Structure 1
């Protein structure tokens, strides 16, 4: 049984190194504790306790990919085939896929309902137009877009620069220090804001000479640096995605699982979401009147932060919805457009939100295109279009972070049409 359990857990999300501390009282902490207790009970042969723990864990994270597989395996051990099939169907209806050659224990109960759902999860939905391509090996993560000029600003993780890409060609806007790259990017009134980090994937990286993460603002026209903000209290921060809000700037810190705020675009960072709640915060979006901030944690889903009171709550997915593995959020009216590269095939989603953003009413798949989406990263809403990095070149890296090819296909910027 232990071999099967480990195989199931290998399918769960592993986007971060989990170096930060997770509060055991948080949703994520409770989920991990219950899952661990359940596996311990299984090792002791106590399947009743294990299943009780797994049920409680699934109530916290209904879209967890590991729990239904664990439950299905236990049901099979107990010869409860009907329940095992139901657990697998729940797993598949959340959009997950399964390689039966790696999970052969499920062959004994596999039927047409399961096979049809598996095939459905891999079919193409929607269509995408190619807006632009960037040649060379770059690894494009962050982006900003000026529609009237057809001007894109893209971050190159491999080269540690921000590139301006237009129909006239590509030019470098700014080159950061060796080993430093921008993971987050935004544009406001002609000024670019970049969240930089010392990255081993960037040319010139030297682990013996650590460089603090910064929020760097610079002119989009000539790359002149205007200001740089860091956090001297925590020099080991690793800034990720950022959001240029109506009044304040927000940035994620993947090293500590925190979200920080730069009030009034000033010079002092303050902690909005402290360490202990999230594993790997990524996507950020603000509502129209700047009273609510939405944050995606790659591992545990979608969180709502009341910017007036500071209260935070995690939103449960709707039935058969999946809010895990989301790396980017953009507001479209009252809804959210999400890039979900934690599922394969990757997807672009529309999260239909309640009026006050306290509930996700529906998860709609706008685009699922295995031939077009390759580790999509970030995007922006432009009118009724969603412009995003469709092929980031992250897939050109092997499991150790080494390039598979020095001359991969171009990074691709795509656009999909949104319906009001």
Structure 2
């Protein structure tokens, strides 16, 4: 449900804390005006402690650190802001002057561009021919093969038939209709009473809720259910559990109800949740989306609630719709900027997000995406509900925007067996190579040797470079998989969680070296091939194309999203497999790439879902991998891949119709790590 309602609930919940929160923020503002920046930092930290996920407080926390010349901490918190909202916070203001020379700040600028870029992969499933209809939920009618959608202000369920809007029920309901779920021939749906449904505060239905049961085939209401107490309730989501039980989320009481013997029973209640929205269940874990606080899981086996740990660049705020998909979760987020749809995959304990993909973000049609359903490996979702246009049930829509339901193709999960290499790039200062090597061999390497002996890491090495303009050493630590990586990083994460970005300022670079950057490279290996790259395929010729490994989003020169590419190792690292999918999901292809030691060259075999194929041969020279088809043929193809300094990769595909005398560009893509 929309952020306006959620924020109202949050503010009422925080009323007891408001005076303390406001007083700390006021004191921080006064200290800022007086240029007492140490005191500003003290007060803004106290305010942030009460609202740790609030992006405005995080933003001012970054300002306070910057003004105190805490460069690392300021960059740490500023990047957090961008992950939540990449549009509405000025990161170029003079208060951040101390950050301008830092490499991290430059990367934040690039990250802001990446987060703001549109990623469009869906097509239109349904255009609703009513510019005054506020829709919320969506479901599929298997009997008439049609999409159903619920309305807040018209308080009914509708479909589109022969281009016309058709209500499912003859009479309106007293409540705005929110979530829906289909169970065989039964349609379950929830209703809630709020101002956007046209209800006044003195209306007896105001802040009341019901679960409805209807015969879907005949559109007949069979029953309705309420909670037998005197409290206010706002029912939102309704889902079917793996045991085929009805679960309902209540944003007012932050409770999950279950229908048992025709009664709604409070099944999960937790004080950890501030504004409950979407719910989903996998096994003994029930996932709870807190609009303000992120994502939580409730363990049915021990009845405990735990916050899901997310990667640093992933914000789990503002989740409305939440859906299980292939042992992961698909989230619809309208409480972040830009709006986005994300696929989450977890560690085996389901308490930490290990991998995530932005499936769609900043779509031009995303007015305020809300709820959806998954069918045939596609997410059908409401792209532009009218919460922002709804004034007490009346829609103010001067641009005559029509509601849309979009159809988004869902990807295959990233394999859990993900080998990870952490690369530290180091620049030696003042020509003090001996000191730097001594330091790393007797500290960095000694620690990793101990860790490898105890099975904590797979491998490590120090690579010395010559004549590189930015760095002189690459320090590589290899983990068997992402689980091993997360376990070894656990102590570091605890330290980070306790003191936030502050600890970064204690890690001052020594006089003889400077850490230029750090990268985490993921190499995808099937479970049967989960072994270290050893033996014959470990030589430099076999590893020349490793810069292409990873999960990539591909864009044109002008920033248009072209598609998704996943490149991983196969056959004990002796080959690379590419899996390409275009932006709309229609065009797909796979290539196999390997170094042919007998011929002394690289080879690629490509095949796509439209019958196309390529056979290419070539080598890595002059900073790029280039492969070409048979040079004796009249029609030829030539493809080159080049690693750029920022870690991105460019791919140029050219064709010749005159036996290589002239070449025309067919495709140019810029690969950016996901």
User: TM-score under structure 1 normalisation?
Assistant: 0.82
Instruction: Give the number of aligned pairs.
Output: 394
Q: SS in structure 2 opposite 1:174?
A: coil
Residue matched to 2:118: 124
Higher RCO (Cα < 8 Å, 6 or more apart): 1
Out of 54, 74, 91, the residue aligned to residue 81 of structure 2 is 91
For residues 165-199 of structure 1, the C-alpha deviation after alignment (integer angstroms, 9 at most, x for no partner) is 35675421126656511111111111111111123
CA drift of 1:50 comes to: 3.5
Q: How does 1:9-158 map to 2 (within 5 A)?
A: 15-18=7-10, 21=13, 39=25, 42=28, 45=31, 46-47=39-40, 49-50=42-43, 53=46, 61=52, 64-80=54-70, 83-92=73-82, 94-99=83-88, 104-106=93-95, 108=97, 112-136=106-130, 137-146=132-141, 149-158=144-153
Cα separation, 2, equivalents of 1:277 and 1:100: 28
Equivalent residues of 2:332, 2:370 under 8 A apart: yes
Q: 1:343 to 1:13 in 2, by over 3 A?
A: farther
Q: 1:383 to 1:16 in 2, by over 3 A?
A: farther
Q: Does 1:410 pair with 2:402? A: yes
Equivalent residues of 1:179, 1:199 under 8 A apart: no
Out of 153, 165, 168, the residue aligned to residue 173 of structure 1 is 168
Equivalent residues of 2:45, 2:61 under 8 A apart: no
Residue matched to 1:210: 204
Cα separation, 2, equivalents of 1:12 and 1:104: 29
Residue matched to 2:237: 241
Cα separation, 2, equivalents of 1:227 and 1:414: 31
For residues 286-316 of structure 1, the C-alpha deviation after alignment (integer angstroms, 9 at most, x for no partner) is 11x4x32111010111111123442221212
User: TM-score under structure 2 normalisation?
Assistant: 0.53
Equivalent residues of 1:54, 1:71 under 8 A apart: no
CA drift of 1:36 comes to: 6.3
Q: 1:168 to 1:83 in 2, by over 3 A?
A: closer
Cα separation, 2, equivalents of 1:12 and 1:74: 29
Equivalent residues of 1:325, 1:341 under 8 A apart: yes
Q: How does 1:272-287 map to 2 (within 5 A)?
A: 272-274=267-269, 276-287=271-282
Which range is displaced more, 362-371 or 296-305?
A: 362-371
Q: How does 1:247-286 map to 2 (within 5 A)?
A: 247-263=244-260, 266-274=261-269, 276-286=271-281
CA drift of 1:281 comes to: 0.6
Cα separation, 2, equivalents of 1:402 and 1:165: 22
Cα separation, 2, equivalents of 1:19 and 1:242: 25
Equivalent residues of 1:140, 1:411 under 8 A apart: yes
Cα separation, 2, equivalents of 1:325 and 1:146: 29
| Bigger radius of gyration | 2
Which range is displaced more, 183-192 or 65-74?
A: 65-74
Q: 1:384 to 1:196 in 2, by over 3 A?
A: same
Equivalent residues of 1:20, 1:279 under 8 A apart: no
Q: Which has the higher strand share?
A: 2
CA drift of 1:277 comes to: 2.6
Q: 1:115 to 1:153 in 2, by over 3 A?
A: same
